[in-house]
Amino acid sequence: MKNRIWFCFGFLFLVAVSLSFCTLATGPVWVSWPDFFSALFAGPSAEVGADSITSQIIWRLRVPRMCAAVLAGTSLSVAGLALQTVFCNPLAGPFVLGISSGASLGVALSLLAGFSFGNFGVLGAAALGASVVTIIVMWVSGRFRNVGVLLIVGLLLGYLIDAIVSVLIAGSEAEALRVYVTWSMGSFGRMLLDGVWVFALAVAAGLGLVVVSMRYLNAARLGDDFARGLGVRVEVSKKCVLLGASILAAACTAFCGPVAFVGIAVPHLAFMLFKTTDHRVLVPGAALCGTVLCLLAGLFPVSIPLNAVLSIVGVPVVFYVLVRGSRTGWW
């Protein structure tokens, strides 16, 4: 079992590194290999000339795009894994439960209502919207044990938020509307080099809250009572996990727009690949799987919507989960 796990980690790491290199080396503008390596090692502050233009292409466009794909894949995958574990729901995820929609509402208020204060302002608005939806989902999960009710509530919240955003769109200015529509299509290519470190800090904070609650996540699959029997502080740990998942989903939504299917599909891919329920393996495993998927999706031409590419992988996985669930009595 350990050999299999290490082999999977090594394989995913090599694939992620290869795809990262492909992301840096490919794009609409062709760059020769000597110029590519020269610009890559020269850094973003190369001197004026041909090397400067190539350097700007690599460091101002392709490096942020690669970082966005890596951070988005990591954040959504870990958030989805944490939510599925806490709610004991194989179809839970930031997008399905409405958490990503809450983050989208925060961004809409920031972009359409004119309350933006740079990267931190958009990120804060997204985090606030995601946190509000998470609190509602927690309240509902405490009152209704039925898995279907939780999914219906997430769907209703999504519709409500879409309605609020539609009202904001109706009263917004043309320039603000253009910015929001472009953001809402979802893309890794809009990330700026200055915003990478803000995105990375937010992802690190969310991962930290999930990792410190690893003992609870391993026990939660058998129920909160079992976790309490092991001496785990269930309420504190659950709040840490949900807050971490909210931050992760909000960070991705703020910088990359609404990204579908990664949070719900990738945890199941990690389960199938690593064949374990130990979150010490699943958390980094899901992060690597999500990174590979998002890097691969980012290599498609810009003319193809990001969520269309992710749906090609996500829909079959969700369908498989539904079929398997009907056979094992989940529904």
Map out the domains of the chain as residue ranges. 2-328
Looking at residue 308, what is its pLDDT?
82
Q: What is the CATH number of domain 2-328?
A: 1.10.3470.10
**Per-position b or e across 68-93, b if 16+ CB within 10 A of its CB:** bbbbbbbbbbbbbbbbbbbbbbbbbb
Mean pLDDT by 10 residues, the chain (331 residues): 86 95 86 77 59 79 93 95 87 81 83 63 80 82 67 81 83 75 80 88 94 89 77 84 88 87 90 89 95 91 80 80 58 41
Looking at residue 12, what is its pLDDT?
95
Looking at residue 120, what is its pLDDT?
67
Count CA atoms closer than 13 A to 137's CA, side-chain side: 38
Looking at residue 127, what is its pLDDT?
82
Looking at residue 331, what is its pLDDT?
41
Looking at residue 68, what is its pLDDT?
94
Q: Are residues 27 and 62 in contact, defined by beta-carbon separation less than 8 angstroms?
A: yes
Looking at residue 22, what is its pLDDT?
92
> For residues 220 and 240, what is the distance between their CA atoms, to the nearest angstrom?
14
